[in-house]
């Protein structure tokens, strides 16, 4: 039995701030149990809901020297869907009302987490063949594995994978301070190892020391080899190209299934899609105070309201878009400027634009089920999950051809009728406006053709099963049959 340990800063259903949690909550659960013994290790945040904390059992604890003094290290454990979840316990670091707090403190606590992950393994009696690390919070695990822990026979032969979910965030801090906190020698903080300009870089450490590197779509893997998208680390990806690949994320096709979804008022299948979506549209219009009109085209946005997600483009075209016969439903939080844009637009277009500055799992599902199109014109997008969910619910994505958006949305061809959505290449508001007008025209002038696109979108298989097979092949290759 091959042993795989996933490590990350968050995981559904225990703690979530973004798509990373969805991946860690889904991928380990679908790996082949006849071949792989799987564990997941995350921090034991005190804000994990009590329903899960009450199930946890303390399995070990000890004192470990870290950043100048002995620190408590405990492990709480629970089993869910045949996956063992281990939670690194230390309330000094993982207390509080939010998983990420002061940036300096985040650097310290995730340095602690990385070292604790390796330190607890002998006490758990679990020696993984591969430690699968995710994003900068776990970046020092491959470094510790090949430096401080390398002489211990227990750790020899353990391999590591570093998966980049979003290269924008790297875990940067003053090199001397990071060396002091982590206990790693200052000699490792050089430009070919952990140093970026004058800062220590946790993610860079993982990329340099891991045995394999992955990211979350094939196109993003190519993009981050370039200076435009590489965030200063493009040279590493080019240098390690033979150990680097993109594997597109999936979604939980049980949770996101319009035929069984308990969060939407009217469930529907591919066959009943038109009537189902119409009923959901009317329900959402009533709930959000929009004009009751089952024939109007509804566009949805479920997103962080940031420049990365294309909000700059949307804000520029909003007046022209709303001059058309369309309703827009927005759900998310983010930069104050973009919240104000949508807040003002909701006042300017009452009954036609609903802006909801929160996150609600229930409303998000209802937007996917009710909307005819889903707007996601990201500046960059490593993979993206929202467009995959939108496809599942027959809400045609309108996306920019970048990262995972390019890999997962087939652009509509008006001559052949092929496609699963609408896409554009250049990050330009005029180009976005053109594609929005194309989607509107198709919806109103070729309703039968639009419905075919919706059904084809629902036919796409972006379940985790397909992606899991690719990961399993990589694990087999690394471990050996």
Nearest Cα to 1, choosing from 47, 38, 37, 43? 37
State how far the alpha carbon of 452 is from the alpha carbons of 60, 275, 387, 435, in Å: 56, 14, 18, 19
CA gap 356, 289 in Å, rounded: 12
Task: Tell me the C-alpha distance between 81 and 464, whole Å.
Answer: 15
Average pLDDT over residues 421-440: 97
| Per-residue pLDDT tens over the stretch 279-331 | 999 999 999 999 999 999 999 999 999 999 999 999 999 999 999 999 999 99
Quickly state the pLDDT bin for 466 (edges 50, 70, 90). Answer: confident
> How many beta carbons lie within 10 A of that of residue 13, not counting itself?
12
Segment 224-264, tens digit of pLDDT: 999 999 999 999 999 999 999 999 999 988 899 999 999 99
* Residue of higher predicted confidence among 480 and 213: 213
CA distances from 290 to 280, 282, 330, 393, 405 (A): 13, 9, 12, 21, 29
Residue 393 buriedness (CB in 10 A; 0-12 / 13-18 / 19+)? buried
In total, the chain counts a number of residues equal to 481
| For residues 390-411, average pLDDT | 97
Residue 436 to residues 265, 326, 327, 368: CA-CA distances in angstroms? 28, 11, 13, 18
Q: Where are the domains of the chain?
A: 2-250+465-479, 273-462
- Which residues have a Cβ under 8 Å from the Cβ of 201 and sit 6 or more positions away? 139, 170, 171, 172, 194, 195
Which one, of 173, 229, 248, 228, lies nearest residue 205 by Cα?
A: 173
* pLDDT of 481 strictly over 70: no
- For residue 396, list its beta bridge partners: 373
Burial class (CB in 10 A: 0-12, 13-18, 19+), 166: buried
**Residue-wise pLDDT tens digits, 167-219:** 999 999 999 999 999 999 999 999 999 999 889 999 999 999 999 999 999 99
Q: For residues 437 and 315, what is the distance between their CA atoms, to the nearest angstrom? A: 16
3.40.50.2000, 3.20.20.70, 3.30.420.40, 2.60.40.420: CATH of 273-462: 3.40.50.2000
C-alpha 188/C-alpha 105 separation (Å) is 22
CATH of span 2-250+465-479: 3.40.50.2000
User: Residues 437, 412: contact at Cβ < 8 Å?
Assistant: no
Q: What is the pLDDT of residue 18?
A: 81
The per-residue pLDDT for range 62-117, each reduced to its tens digit, is 999 999 899 999 999 999 988 999 999 999 999 988 999 888 899 999 999 999 99
* CA atoms of 181 and 144, how far apart (whole Å): 13
The closest of 250, 142, 119, 132 to 204, measured between CA atoms, is: 142
Largest CA distance in the chain: 70
DSSP, res 410: P
> What's the burial of 469, exposed, middle or buried (CB within 10 Å: 0-12/13-18/19+)?
middle
Integer distance in angstroms from the first to the last C-alpha of the chain?
11
pLDDT digits (tens, 9 = 90+) for 401-430: 999 999 999 999 989 999 999 999 999 999
pLDDT at 19 (0 to 100): 84
Q: At what angle do helices 175-182 and 103-124 cross, to 10 degrees?
A: 30
The answer to whether residues 391 and 462 touch, using CB atoms and an 8 Å cutoff, is yes
CA atoms of 24 and 11, how far apart (whole Å):
5
Q: What are the phi and psi torsion angles at 10 (to 5°)?
A: -155, 160
CA distance 259 to 295: 22
């Amino acid at each position: 039995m091959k042993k795989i340990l996933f490590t990350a800063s968050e995981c559904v259903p225990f703690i979530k701030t973004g798509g990373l949690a969805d991946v860690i909550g889904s991928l380990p659960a679908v790996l082949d149990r006849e071949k792989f013994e799987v564990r997941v290790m995350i921090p034991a945040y005190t804000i994990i809901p009590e329903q899960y904390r009450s199930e946890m059992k303390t399995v070990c604890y000890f004192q470990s020297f870290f950043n100048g003094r002995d620190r408590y290290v405990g492990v709480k454990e629970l089993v869910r869907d045949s996956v063992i979840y281990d939670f690194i316990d230390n309330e000094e670091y993982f207390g509080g009302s939010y998983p990420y707090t002061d940036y300096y403190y985040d650097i310290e606590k995730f340095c602690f987490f990385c070292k604790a992950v390796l330190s607890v393994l002998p006490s758990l009696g679990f020696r993984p063949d591969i430690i699968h690390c995710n994003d900068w919070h776990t970046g020092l695990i491959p470094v510790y594995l090949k430096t401080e822990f390398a002489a211990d026979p227990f750790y020899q032969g353990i391999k590591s994978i570093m998966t980049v979910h979003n290269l924008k965030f790297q875990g940067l801090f003053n090199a001397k301070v990071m060396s002091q906190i982590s206990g790693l020698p200052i000699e490792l903080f050089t430009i070919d190892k952990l140093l970026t300009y004058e800062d220590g870089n946790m993610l860079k450490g993982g990329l340099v020391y891991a045995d394999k590197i992955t990211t979350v779509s094939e196109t993003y893997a190519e993009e981050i080899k370039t200076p435009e998208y590489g965030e200063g680390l493009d040279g590493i990806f080019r240098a390690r190209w033979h150990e680097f690949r993109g594997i597109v994320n999936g979604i939980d096709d049980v949770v996101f299934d319009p035929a069984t979804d308990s969060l939407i008022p009217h469930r529907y299948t591919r066959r009943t899609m038109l009537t189902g979506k119409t009923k959901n549209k009317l329900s959402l219009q009533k709930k959000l105070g929009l004009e009751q009109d089952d024939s109007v085209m509804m566009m949805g946005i479920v997103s962080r309201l940031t420049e990365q997600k294309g909000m700059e483009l949307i804000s520029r075209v909003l007046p022209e878009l709303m001059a058309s016969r369309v309703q827009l439903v927005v759900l998310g939080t983010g930069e104050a400027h973009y919240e104000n844009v949508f807040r003002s637009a909701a006042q300017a277009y009452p009954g036609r634009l609903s802006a909801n500055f929160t996150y609600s799992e229930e409303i998000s599902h209802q937007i996917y089920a009710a909307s005819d199109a889903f707007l996601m014109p990201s500046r960059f997008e490593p993979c993206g999950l929202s467009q995959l969910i939108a496809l599942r619910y027959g809400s045609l994505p309108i996306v920019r051809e970048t990262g995972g958006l390019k890999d997962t949305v087939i652009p509509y061809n008006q001559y052949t009728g092929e496609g699963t959505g609408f896409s554009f290449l250049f990050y330009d508001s005029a180009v976005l406006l053109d594609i929005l007008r194309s989607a509107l025209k198709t919806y109103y002038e070729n309703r039968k053709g639009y419905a075919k696109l919706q059904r084809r979108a629902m036919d796409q298989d972006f379940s985790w099963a397909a992606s899991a097979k690719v990961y399993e092949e990589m694990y087999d290759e690394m471990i050996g049959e």
